[in-house]
Homo-oligomer: A and B are copies of this chain.
Amino acid sequence: MIIDCAVYQDGRRLDLKPSATEARRVSEERSDSFAWVGLYEPKEEEFEDVRQAFGLHELAVEDAIKAQQRPKLEVYGDSLFIVLKPTLYVTAEHDVQVGEILLFVGRKFIVSVRHGDVGELIGVRKTIESRPDLLKHGPSAVVYAILDNVVDGYRKVVNDLEDQIQEEIEAEVLLPNGRAGPEEIYTMKREVLEFHSACAPLVEPVERLARMRVGFVDETISAYMNDVQDHLLKVVSDVHRFREILSNAMELHLSSTSARLNQTLSQLTIIASLFLPLTFLSGFFGMNFGWLVDHIGSFWTFAAAVAAMAVTVLIQLVIFRRRGLLG
């Protein structure tokens, strides 16, 4: 589905509603102009017109229809093919949703194809149309605007993840009976991993754009690309930090569970050590041996037995205290 199709000259949108083919023709005729066609989940036949109008490479087109690419930048002759993975973190579901944006960039055109629910581009078009000073630098300005939007989205995800990790994992796992079990840590790790595969492979393409290694970017846009690159690097280094924090939290959980296990076992050992001997002693004097029964009739024998029990308990308490087992 074609969402929007426009031609820009000297940084300003021309008042036309061209088809893709017309947009190409107009932009070729006029100097300092370029066409921007925006599509959403195009079917093969829908995309055919656009493909022919701009002479896009067969392989890139196949990728654009199938989606499911990893972020990349490829040079086909004198045009670029860029794949981006915008993300959105749905806090309630602890879920990182990932979309896909594919860009075909030529000297005088840019075709953007979007898949999935994440990474809406209408807002981006409005934002960049309000900056004719940038837009007059050509399609690379649009690439910048889209990249900036995607990376801004990453930064929001990073902030949301940071909050959730601090509140739901770190705060809980440091409590003696916190709610964060290993399952929660695992699930969070999983989300971070998924987010990592969306944002990390983008570093190298953005660097190539920022350092003007692909020929489409002039010095002005390069400075803006550098800014995006910088934000992206911060995102990636935060993701690495999250992974380390979550690994540490998993380790901490194991260690503190193990420490608690020891406490519980110590408690059981104390109970058993105190009462098993006592139970034996009372059982001993409950035996029905005639001789025994005959010789424990007096009060003093009873008193002596009770005293023996008390002494047993006391000695054990002293031992436990010395070993630091009583708290």
Contact = CB atoms under 8 A, between A and B. Distances in A.
Interface of A: 57, 59, 63, 69-70, 72, 74, 76, 170, 173-174, 177, 181-183, 185-187, 189-190, 193, 197, 201, 223-224, 226-227, 230, 233-234, 237, 241, 244-245, 248-262, 264-269, 271-280, 282-293, 296-299, 301-302, 305, 324
A262 B272 contact: no
A272 B293 CA distance: 27
A201 B279 contact: no
A64 B42 CA distance: 42
15 contacts: A182-B255, A182-B256, A183-B252, A185-B255, A186-B249, A197-B237, A197-B241, A201-B237, A253-B255, A254-B258, A262-B264, A278-B284, A283-B286, A287-B305, A289-B305
Contact of A269 (B57, B234, B264, B289): B264
Contact of A296 (B181, B197, B288, B305): B288
Contacts of A226: 74
A59 B264 contact: no
B280 A290 contact: no
Contact of A285 (B230, B253, B287): B287
Contacts of A290: 293, 296-298, 302
A289 B278 CA distance: 16
Contact of A297 (B251, B253, B283, B289): B289
A186 B258 contact: no
Nearest to A258: B257
B261 A227 contact: no
A304 B304 CA distance: 23
B289 A283 contact: no
Contacts of A72: 230
Contacts of A69: 230, 234
A190 B73 CA distance: 33
A137 B114 CA distance: 34
Contacts of A255: 181-182, 185, 250, 253-254, 257
B291 A288 contact: no
A45 B15 CA distance: 37
Contacts of A268: 265, 268-269, 272-273
Contact of A272 (B266, B271, B283, B289): B271
